Amino acid sequence: MKNLPSARLNVCLLAAALLLFPIAFDDPFYLDVGVAVLLAAISASAWNIVGGYAGQVSVGHSMFFGLGAYAPLLFYTLWGWPPLAGIPAGIALSVALAIVVGLPTFRLSGHYFSMATIAVAELIRIFFGTWTLVGGAIGLQGPAVARGWWDLTFRGDMPYYYIFLAVLGLLLFVTYEVERRRFGFYLRAIKASERAARSLGVPVRLTKLKALVLSATFTSAAGSLYAAKTGFIDPDSGFGILVSVQMVIVAALGGAGTLFGPLLGALILVPLQTAANTWFGGGGSGLTFILYGGIIVLIARFEPGGLFDLWRRLSPLIRKRVHAA
Amino acid sequence: MLLVQVIVGGLLLGAIYALFSSGLTLIWGMMNFINFAHGEFVMLGMYAALLVVVHLGGGPLAFGAAAALALFLLGIVVYLALIRHVMRGPMLSQILSTFGLALLLRYSAFFVFSANFVSLPDTALSGTLNIGGVFLPVAQLVAGVVAVTLTIALHLLLTRTAIGSRLLAVAEDRSAAMLMGIRPDRMQALAWGLSAGAAGIAGALLATAYPWSPSVGETFGLIAFVTVALGGFGSVLGSLYAGLIIGLIEAISAFWLGAIYKDIVVYGLFVALLWLRPQGLMGKA
Amino acid sequence: MLLEAQNVAKAFGSFWAVAGADLAVEEGEIIGLIGPNGAGKSTFFNCLAGDMPPTSGRILFGGTDLTRAPPEAHARAGIGRTFQVPATFEDMSVIDNVMVGAFLRHPHRNDARALARRIVEMTGLRADQPARSLGTPGRKRLEIARVLASEPRLLLLDESLAGLTPSELQEAIALVRRIHESGVTIVIVEHIMEVIMTLTRRVLVFNQGRVISSGTPEQVVRDEAVIEAYLGRGAQRHSRGSGNP
């Protein structure tokens, strides 16, 4: 970050805006959108670690999201345990899965990893749809009435909003620390040129694995938060391809590989999606995904750095115009 | 006897898998590029066949050729407009480009054609043969045989003809090929045309024998991945063997375990391959 | 003996790019590797750097067998290399590029940055410049800076001085000399004879996957086998006929 004082100021302003939002906009509708934005930002920022920084494009990240979503509700449905207890379990499973997927594919070229992520996510989705223990095609539900705060079942969205905000803050902080340290440099080196990175002693395979594990941890947490909020999960909402796609497009639109890119993408895309659903009604989802597909292609073709990169290139020009005026 | 029928049916379908997978493997072998929208090309081939039959009343030859041509052109257009540019860029945009394209094509098809399953109206290939107690729909039989023939033809095209050796030269060493007066850009565009064309014909063949909806693109895409992974990236012959094997495995899994589990078996096989033998039967990793 | 390559061979299918090459480099030497295009120099280089495992033969560094070791292990052992086509980290700044190299021996950011700054200054680059805005000479220099930061004992330079203007070339030669004087052993692949003549004490000549001649630069350029390799069979007769010693 070039201008340190002004960058810090911007971040403080952003944090203040996010903190005060629910108080300023007390309407349940806006709050709901706010929560959705935060959730999308968490998922996308988690994906960003392995997909944006390290350049390992997972298009099946829903595998971690789904595990994180199912674990708390499973704990509740099977044993009556508080969903909160299921969150670490979901993370543990996701980490194990990350290692299983990453270990063989990271020694091959990047495409193998991407294909593997699609296949594994689909595999799990179909499997969960047939497994009665986890509810099969119907899925699982969470507590209807809270027995305590650990059930994570709140009336109204405000508590969820602040919990999600805290998790997002933690994730962005972790990402920021990663960026500054050797790990972050190695991730970017791998993305830029694996061959050169290797020649400089970067342990490529291990670094990729670490990134995937870190990413999986937070993606799983996002899934758990989602399940806590909606109180429901099924194979499609947990492991569906659209869950994976949304993470990717939110991050890529805002700027994959940047700290605030995913948040920016969420701030733009989620309200847009909500608006589209309102306009087009039920049939909207089909059009939404045509739009998603189109946006992804355009980003890939013209602006792989996302809006952040676009802004970085345009702002000196805009500044020049302003000064000249 | 039922088992024999299942086996034969699986092999015939596997032959078509081989055909469209050979298109995918061609691009991979030539350009180190995975087309995530390949399944959608097959799906579009199926709908192209349907449109020709419904609106122009063509027979199998007509709609087969139409599907092949339409997809051939689409492949070239996709290469020129999109692939050529992202090839030079980061991995993220390479993967996103065809992944986004897949979404675009799939959901556009949902929008235009609806999610209902359709099939071709009766054609010259309707009817069932009874060969020693094994019932084979004529369409499936013809489709399978044609698919094998075309796959072998593609292999011969690549290995025995002048244009084929030019394509392979570009795959081998781009700069050397340029020095020999071959234009990599043209060859790559041609490869994309052939790849999509193969998918298109495969789609038309599938349409004669099986019902479908826009969702099949996703399924065929994954099957293509598994087939190419098994057969070896870059090997058309490998795709032939692998396609037949996958078709067989799929049919037997469906027979013994049920339709839903067959997907688990096939995708599970893919994951196992990545773990154990990423270079497949006949390819270079 | 710092680096030893014993009867290294590398085959691609049925084509032997390297067909039995030996190399022995003592600590502190500066060795040149020349030969016509397609002679196998780069492939041999890649084997030395660990980029591809040799089909047969052994590679020993400081006594340790690195034949099948991956590039990361070579780097950690103390072998650094540059690439014929520069592979700089385009999206990162000059200093960030160099820091990636520095992190090998200095895991902490501040130490790595301090070392990187010193090296960036020494090589005359601008720390904050994005790597993608450098021209090819700048990229080559950045690669050298970056690999220097990994504090190698042996540096493999793959045509790092190609495509420079005469004054840039002098600067680059001076830089390589400074690096050598600071104690780094260097093996340099080059086509530019001035570099070979002025910098190296010993030269190996590759042709068709084999070492066909070795000696001081002066000896090697007179060697008939070498002239023949570069210019073809007729050239040797021609040069003899025009009264050369």
CATH number of the domain that C128 lies in? 3.40.50.300
pLDDT at C244: 44
Asked whether residue B148 is domain-assigned, the answer is yes
Rounded to whole angstroms, how far apart are CA atoms C197 and B204? 67
pLDDT above 80 (res C234)? no
Partner residue facing B278 (CB), from A56, A112, A120? A112
How far apart (Å, rounded) are the C-alpha atoms in residues A106 and A113? 7
Nearest CA in chain A to C102: A200
> Tens digit of pLDDT for each residue in A169-179?
999 999 999 99
| Encoded amino acid at A129, one letter | G
C88 touches chain A (CB under 8 A): yes
Higher-confidence residue of A324 and A314: namely A314
Please say if the pLDDT value at position B285 is more than 50: no
What is the pLDDT averaged over residues C235-241?
50
- Cite the DSSP H helix spans in C149-232: 166-181, 193-199, 217-222, 224-231
Q: Is B114 on the interface with A (CB under 8 A)?
A: no
pLDDT, mean of residues A188-202: 94
Q: How far is CA B13 from the centre of its chain?
A: 12
Among chain B residues, CA nearest to A119: B267
Q: Is C18 left (phi over 0), alpha (psi -120 to 50) or beta?
A: beta
Rounded to the nearest angstrom, the minimum Cα separation between C106 and chain A is 9
C140 touches chain A (CB under 8 A): no
The amino acid occupying position A146 is A
**Cα distances (angstroms) measured from residue A70 to each of A203, A230, A240, C241:** 34, 12, 13, 87
Name which of B146, B173, B2 is nearest B60 in CA terms. Answer: B146
Considering Cα of A58, then A60, then A62, then A68, what sign does the dihedral take? negative
| Alpha carbons A134 and A233: distance in angstroms, whole number | 10
Q: What's the pLDDT at B282?
A: 60
Q: Are B100 and A296 in contact (CB under 8 A)?
A: yes
B103 belongs to a structural domain: yes
Q: Which chains reach chain B with 3 or more Cβ–Cβ distances below 8 angstroms?
A: A
Counting as contact any 3 or more CB pairs under 8 A, the partners of A are B, C
Answer whether residue A5 shows pLDDT above 80.
no
For every residue of A80-148, DSSP letters joined together read: ---HHHHHHHHHHHHHHHHHHHHHHHTTS-HHHHHHHHHHHHHHHHHHHHH-GGGTTTT-EE--SS-SS
Using the beta-carbon criterion (under 8 Å), do C88 and A196 form an inter-chain contact? Answer: yes
The structure tokens listed for C111 are: 């130490």
Over range A83-98, report the average pLDDT.
94
In angstroms, rounded to a whole number, what is the distance separating the alpha carbons of residues C54 and A88?
46
**A289-298 burial, b for 16+ CB within 10 Å, e for fewer?**
bbbbbbbbbe
Q: Is residue B284 part of a domain?
A: no
A199 in contact with C at a CB cutoff of 8 Å?
Answer: yes
Quote ipTM for the complex.
Answer: 0.89
Neighbouring CB atoms inside 10 A of C219's CB total 13
Structural contact between residues C22 and C6, judged by C-beta atoms closer than 8 angstroms = yes
CA distance B127 to chain A (A): 34
CA atoms within 13 A on the CB side of A191: 27
Enter the tokens of residue B56: 């122009």
Out of B81, B91, B106, whose CB is closest to A55?
A: B91
pLDDT tens digits, C68-120: 899 999 999 999 999 988 999 998 999 999 999 999 999 999 999 999 999 99
Burial class (CB in 10 A: 0-12, 13-18, 19+), B247: buried
Q: Determine whether A272 is exposed, middle or buried from the number of CB atoms within 10 Å of its CB (0-12, 13-18, 19+).
A: middle
Mutate to test the interface with A, among B274, B276, B277, B279 (most CBs of A within 10 A): B274
Using alpha carbons only, give the angle B76, B79, B80 rounded to the nearest 5 degrees: 85
State residue C242's pLDDT score: 45
Nearest partner of A60 among B246, B218, C120, judged by Cα: B218
d(CA C156, CA C38): 18
* Of B115 and B71, more confident: B71
Distance CA A228, CA A232 (A): 8
Query: Taking chain B, what is the end-to-end CA distance rounded to the nearest angstrom?
Result: 40
Pairing of strands C30-34, C185-189: parallel
Instruction: Identify the CA nearest to B115 among candidates A283, A262, A88, C206.
Output: A283
Q: Is A200 on the interface with C (CB under 8 A)?
A: yes
DSSP A260: S
pLDDT over threshold 50, residue C221: yes
Single out the residue of A137, A244, A41 nearest to residue B103, CA to CA: A244
Q: What φ, ψ does residue C39 adopt, rounded to 5°?
A: -80, -15
Contact A49, A179 (CB under 8 A): no
Beta bridge partners of residue C142, listed in sequence order: none
Domain borders along chain A are: 4-324
B104 interaction partners in chain A (CB closer than 8 Å): 290, 293-294, 297
**Which residue from A182, A188, A196 is facing C91, i.e. has the nearest CB?**
A188
Tell me which residue of A85, A46, A38 sits closest to A62, measured CA to CA.
A46
* Average confidence score pLDDT of chain A: 88
CB contact under 8 A, B100 and A108: no
Q: Which of C230, C174, C170 is nearest to C206 (CA)?
A: C230
Nearest to A203 among C72, C87, C91 (CB): C72
Which tokens belong to A161? 């909003």
CA B284 to chain CA mean position, Å? 20
A252 chain-B contacts, CB cut-off 8 A? 92, 96
Q: Do residue B90 and residue A109 have CB atoms under 8 angstroms apart?
A: no
Q: Residues of B with CB below 8 A from A248's CB? A: 96, 99
Note the pLDDT of residue C17: 83
The residue count for chain B: 285
A32/A23 Cα distance (integer angstroms)? 13
The mean pLDDT of B259-264, rounded to a whole number, is 82
Mean residue pLDDT across chain B: 87
How confident is the model at residue C25, as a pLDDT?
92
Beta bridge partners of C31: C187, C202
* Torsion angles phi and psi, residue C7, rounded to 5: 50, 45
Rounded CA-CA distance B273/B254 in Å is 20
In C, minimum Cα distance to A204 occurs at C72
Partner residues linked to B134 by β-bridges: B131
| Residue listed under structure tokens 């002239």 | C227
Chain A hits for B97, CB-CB cut-off 8 Å, are 296-297, 300-301
Note whether C4 contacts A: Cβ–Cβ < 8 A: no
Class level of CATH domain A4-324: mainly alpha
Mean pLDDT within A6-33: 85
- A141: which residues sit within 8 A by CB, 6+ positions away? A73, A77, A231, A232
- In the stretch 233-262 of chain A, residues with CB closer than 8 A to chain B read 241, 245, 248, 252, 256
| C104 to chain A: closest CA residue | A201
B128, B140 in Cβ contact below 8 A?
no
- Rounded to a whole number of angstroms, the distance from the CA of A242 to the nearest CA of chain C is 30
Q: How many CB atoms lie within 10 A of CB A266?
A: 26
Chain A interface includes B83 (CB < 8 A): no
Q: Which of B91, B104, B270 has the CB atom closest to A294's CB atom?
A: B104
Are the beta carbons of A293 and A224 closer than 8 angstroms? no
Distance from CA of C199 to the nearest CA of A (A): 24
The pLDDT tens digits of the residues spanning C152-204 come to: 999 999 988 888 888 888 888 999 999 999 999 999 998 888 888 888 989 98
In-domain check, residue B70: yes
Position B225, amino acid: F
Tell whether B274 lies on the interface with A, counting CB pairs under 8 A. Answer: yes
Q: Do A252 and B92 touch (CB under 8 A)?
A: yes
> Does any CB of chain C come closer than 8 Å to the CB of residue A181?
yes
For residue A207, the chain C residues in CB contact (below 8 A) are: none
Q: Which residues of A touch B271 (CB under 8 A)?
A: 116, 119-120, 123
Q: Is A268 on the interface with B (CB under 8 A)?
A: no
Per the structure, how many domains does chain B have? 1
Spatial separation of the C-alpha atoms in residues C205 and C40, rounded to whole Å: 10
Residues near C203 by beta carbon (within 8 Å), at least 6 away in sequence: C31, C32, C33, C34, C196, C214, C215, C216, C217, C220
Q: Facing residues of C154 across strands?
A: C79, C185
Minimal Cα distance from A107: which residue of C? C70
Closest CA to A222 of A46, A17, A26: A46
Residues of chain A with pLDDT > 70: what percent? Answer: 96
- Measured between beta carbons, the chain A residues lying within 8 angstroms of B95 are 57, 59, 110-111, 114
Check residue C233 and give its pLDDT.
59
**pLDDT at residue A211 is higher than 90:** yes
Residue B280 has pLDDT above 70, yes or no: no
Facing residue for A195 by CB, picked from C76, C80, C87: C87
Predicted pLDDT of residue C40: 81
Domain with residue B25: its CATH number is: 1.10.3470
Q: Which residues span the domain enclosing B83? A: 2-113+136-276
CB contact under 8 A, A195 and C83: yes
Among A59, A104, A292, select the one facing B275 at the smallest CB separation: A104
| Spatial separation of the C-alpha atoms in residues C122 and C175, rounded to whole Å | 9
Gap between the Cα atoms of C200 and C195, Å rounded:
8
Contact A182 C103 (CB under 8 A): yes
A166, containing H or E segment: helix A158-180
For the residues A143-149, what does the mean pLDDT come to? Answer: 76
State the best of C46, C52, C76, C91 to mutate against chain A, taking most chain A CBs within 10 Å.
C91
Nearest CA in chain B to A117: B271
Name the β-bridge partners of B128: B137
| Number of domains into which chain C is organized | 1
Residues of A in contact with B80 (CB under 8 A): none
Please tell me if residue B86 touches chain A, with a CB cutoff of 8 Å: yes
